[in-house]
Amino acid sequence: MTAIAAGSLRLSERVVADPPVVLAPMAGITNTAFRRLCREAMATALEPAQVGGLFVSEMITTRALVERNPKTLRMIGFEADETPRSIQLYGVDPAVVGAAVRMIVDEDLADHVDLNFGCPVPKVTRRGGGSALPWRIGLFDDIVRAAVREARGAVPVTVKMRIGIDREHVTYRDAALRAQDAGVAHVALHGRTAAEFYGGKADWAPIAELAELLDIPVLGNGDIWEADDALRMVRETGCAGVVVGRGCLGRPWLFADLAAGFAGRSERARPGLAQVAATMHRHAELLAEWLGEERGVVDFRKHVAWYLKGFVVGGGLRAAMASSSSLAELDDLLAQLDADQPFPDAVLGQPRGRTSGARGVALPEGWLLSRDSRAVPLAAELEDGGG
């Protein structure tokens, strides 16, 4: 194999991704424990001169950040060796988004800020946020400009978006051009509309269109289940890098495969069940260090099915792991696994995580009537501290 054409992704002197791979922000997933697992996995496959990818926090609500919500402040914590530090922000009010970015810069809370315009979940879109927001292109423009202005050149600002609300309300072209004009460092595009949610097959053609249209880097997102999918996306679309989400659920070692693939090497991680069990223990241990043992192990429960996908494990044992509440209990259950099982190749290239398809998109009343409105919807800001 030869190295893929995409080079390193440089957003600033401090923010470089080499290989050009970004861990997508995922609510309840990309906390400091999971980010560390993915970084460690990628580090095992890096060339000496490479620095690694960009590993982004969970979505952080701007209102909660500026109000210093304790949960939110915990969520934006980074390990001492975690660099560059990357935060994704969600907000609908330009003034609040600007204040959040100003706080991040003034208090040196992160090296990079990503703006969420891609989330399709109803609690976000019904408030006009996430993937609904670029339809109101004037409000979108105000938010992005406020973020770039308050970043003051100290941290790069990027945006992540979807194709549009649905196929009748496409927004990615206008939004990407506005974002470029506002001064963002890159645009990432998920090849689905909000209405398509996580179902069907991602459409990579709009990614290729943006890569041709924009002068700034364009990153592609959607259906990267294996490293070879990432390489194919770069070849087919000309994008500058990839954003990986659901494909790494229960598989942090995917980042080792990505590092090898972008370097032109053919080796791929295929851990047997003994290695997977060791990774599960480490993941739970890291969560326990961050949240305390009981909360950490409870938080780990959601990952059990993803780690064990394809392995022969009895339903009772799976259920017991998914209800464990201490490291000792989890370790006792892990010891009962048939550790000699090889990696189940049948699951390669298969979707992971949410796969639900087309649905109506919850929107504020009258949202589709005007594209140019700059009005902030009533009760638009989420009250919780992220996710």
Give the catalytic positions in this structure: 119
Going by C-alpha positions, the residue among 197, 183, 191, 225 that lies closest to residue 211 is 191
Euclidean distance between CA atoms 222 and 203, whole angstroms: 8
Q: Angle between the 273-291 and 32-43 helix axes, to the nearest 10 degrees?
A: 140
CB 200 within 8 A of CB 358: yes
DSSP 310: T
Burial label, 255 (beta-carbon count in 10 A; 0-12, 13-18, 19+): buried
CB 97 within 8 A of CB 149: no
CB 127 within 8 A of CB 364: yes
Euclidean distance between CA atoms 377 and 334, whole angstroms: 49
Euclidean distance between CA atoms 281 and 330, whole angstroms: 8
Going by C-alpha positions, the residue among 90, 17, 91, 109 that lies closest to residue 55 is 17
In sign, the C-alpha dihedral spanning 199, 205, 207, 213 is negative
Please report where in the chains the tokens 């927001």 appear, as a residue. Answer: 133
CB 95 within 8 A of CB 103: no
CB 173 within 8 A of CB 209: yes
